[in-house]
Structure formats: structure tokens, C-alpha cells
Amino acid sequence: MIKTLEWTDGGVRFIDQTKLPTEETYVTCKSYEEVADAIRTMIVRGAPVIGVAAAMGVALGARDSKAANPADFDAEFNHICGVLAATRPTAVNLFWAIRRMKEKYKSVGSQPMPEIKQQLVDEAQRMLVEDIAANLAMGKHGAALLPASGGVLTHCNAGALATCGYGTALGVIRAAVDSGKQLHVFADETRPFLQGSRLTAWELMKDGIPTTVISDNMAGAIMSQGRIGAVIVGADRIAANGDVANKIGTYTVAILAKEHGIPFYVAAPFCTVDLQTADGSGIPIEQRSSGEVTHMAGKQMTPDGVQVENPAFDVTPHKYVTAIITERGVAREPYTKSLQDLAGR
Ligand code: MRU
């Protein structure tokens, strides 16, 4: 399995996703500030792994603290959490993971510093193990939903690289293939950051799963030819009513799927569900730098001075979502009820 991230004595080690697919290189972040930079610059990206990376960043900051006792450490701990929380606004997994680290700190805060540090490191590592287990469970719940054979379209990268291993949407595809389904994945290129063509295609090819990269504007034509039996994507945040924030372009794909009568599935760990946010209008959408749109691989693609927008995510209204696959089970309309029911499991 691809090691997207790993806790080491020297720091948190990431596969550098900005260099894939042409270079498989690894970077070790030796401080929590370096982990925050890795999240911001997308050396590590994808909602679930952003959460675990942040948790490891918190653990790293705690481990390296010079504070002699919890009273001295409190303010520093909150500062570390604040720096990591300020990296990317949309993926709720980031805030979920930091909250969990805060809860852990609260529960062990009366112990001596070495014990607190060890508990925080253990908690972050536990989150990595749990994320992989959740993905495997999603695979079990979701595999039956995919067709027995033919094309499945995905957008962005919701694979091993976006998680601690196996993937959410790609995990379901992997499980379906393992169960004998003869699938062919159509990977949307995913402009502007190219997570589909650079990352999804790279990891599926490593697994020998047949994959075709298409540019984003080809999806409708391929669907109209009857070559797509299902769409499956990941999510960065799912509101209580089932509205789904995911990579920019997902909304367009969902509408196309509806028009062509193709089921549109979302696979995400339950920590991506944000029951505090009633609907998609409350989800903050990250705006990234214009350079990601104006330039490709360092080459300028637009005239000097042109106005550019670069929202990193969009919101797909729940009416387009056939089902949401989580490790706790599969939710369907009405999502306000089904997601609430899964919350109780
Ligand atoms: O900007 P990114 O690459 O972090 O966006 C990633 C996505 O939108 C993924 O589809 C989502 O995080 C789910 S990953 C399991």
C-alpha cells in the first residue's frame, strides 16, 4: 500500500504529491510549522489525510515542546492547534482531527509532560490506523453498488493518496474490483491542480486497474455514449442535509450524471459529515491562488493581468446524490434522517 504519510522519529514523512506522477519523492516535516506548510502547499492533500496530518503536526509540536509542565504548555498547545487549523478551510476532517487532539490533551492534561506527549503521539497514530479501517469498511459497503462491469467515472483523487491508505471512492472501486467486477475507471483530469490525471491515474495504474484519463469537459460526451455506469467521488464536507462539498467540478459531474440517469455516489468517512452545518450554503469554500489557473507546469496559459477565479471546491446539492457511503453504512434520502441515524451508530 502507498504510504501517504508516516510518523517517524525524525518527523512526519509524506509522499510529495506536488511531484507525482513523474517523481516519487518523500519529504519529512520536522516541525508542526513544516506540517502546516505541507498541508497549505498540497504536498499532502485530500480531506481524510489532511486531518491525520494535522493530528500528527499537533503531536510533533507537543513532542518538541520545552514546557516543563502542562500549565506552561497550555498556551503553546493552543497556538500549535491554531496554526494547523488555519491551513485549509473546507475539509472538515482537519477541524475534527484537531478537536480530537484537544480532547485527548484535556483527558491526559493532569499527567507529567512525557506522558502527555506520548499520549498525543499515540492518538495521532491511532487515527491513521482507524482511517485505513474506515476505508476498508466503506469498500465493503459500497462495492455492491457499482456495476458488474463497464465504466465508472471519478473526479479528483479520493484514493490512497487522499487518505492514510486504500482510499474512499477509489477504495470502493478497489473493493469492487477485488470482488470480481470488471471495471474501467474514467478519471477526470481535474483542472486546475490535476489530481485526477496526476494522482488517481498514477495510483490506479500501480494497482493494474484499467484507467482512462479524460479532460473535465469530456465527461458529458462519454456519458452520452452510455460508457459510464456509475460516478463515485469523495467529499471534503457533507452538511446535515446531504449537500456535498468536493473538488471544483464535482457539481457539474453530478448534474451530468442526473441528466444521463447515472447513479452518483459519494464515499467518505463519517468524520466528513458535519451535522453542525445545516446545508451546503454554510460550507466555507477555499479560494486558492490565481497562479494555479494562469500557469501549467510553470508555463503561462492566460494573458497578463486577466482576472481569474480559483475556488477549490463546489457544493453538490443532495438531490443529485444517489447515496453516501460511509464506514458506518450507506445513507440515502432523506439525508437529514439517514445521516442522523448513522451518527447514532
Ligand atoms: O484540494 P484537494 O486535493 O485537497 O481536494 C481533494 C478532494 O476534493 C477530494 O475529493 C476529497 O478531499 C475527498 S478525498 C478522500
Chain mean pLDDT for the chain: 98
Q: Other C-beta atoms within 10 Å of 319: how many?
A: 12
Q: How far is the CA of 303 from the centre of ligand 1 (A)?
A: 29
Query: Do 51 and 172 belong together in one domain?
Result: no
Beta bridge partners of 186: 153, 212
Q: Output the pLDDT for position 71.
A: 92
- Reading the block at residue 314, the C-alpha cell is 463546489
| Identified catalytic residue from 188, 236, 243, 274 | 236
Angle at 195 between CA 192 and CA 199, to 5 degrees: 150
Domain boundary pick from 136, 155, 177: 136
Atom of ligand 1 nearest to the CA of 288: 1
Query: Do 164 and 114 belong together in one domain?
Result: no
Domain boundary pick from 136, 167, 192: 136
Query: The domain containing residue 206 runs over which residues?
Result: 144-343
Distances in Å between the alpha carbon of 26 and those of 43, 118, 208, 326?
Answer: 9, 25, 23, 30
CATH of the domain at 45: 1.20.120.420
Q: Output the pLDDT for position 198.
A: 98
> Which has the closest alpha carbon to 279: 319, 246, 239?
239
Contact 6, 129 (CB under 8 A): no
Q: Output the pLDDT for position 1.
A: 78
For the question of residue 216 being annotated catalytic, the response is: no
Which residues sit with their C-beta closer than 6 Å to ligand 1? 45-48, 91, 156, 158, 162-163, 168, 195, 233-236, 246-247, 312
Each residue's pLDDT tens digit, 211-246: 999 999 999 999 999 999 999 999 999 999 999 999
Angle at 91 between CA 86 and CA 97, to 5 degrees: 75
Atom of ligand 1 nearest to the CA of 233: 10
Confidence band for 189, pLDDT divided at 50, 70 and 90: very high
Q: Is the pLDDT of residue 149 over 90?
A: yes
Domain boundary pick from 136, 168, 194: 136
Please tell me the total count of domains within the chain. Answer: 2
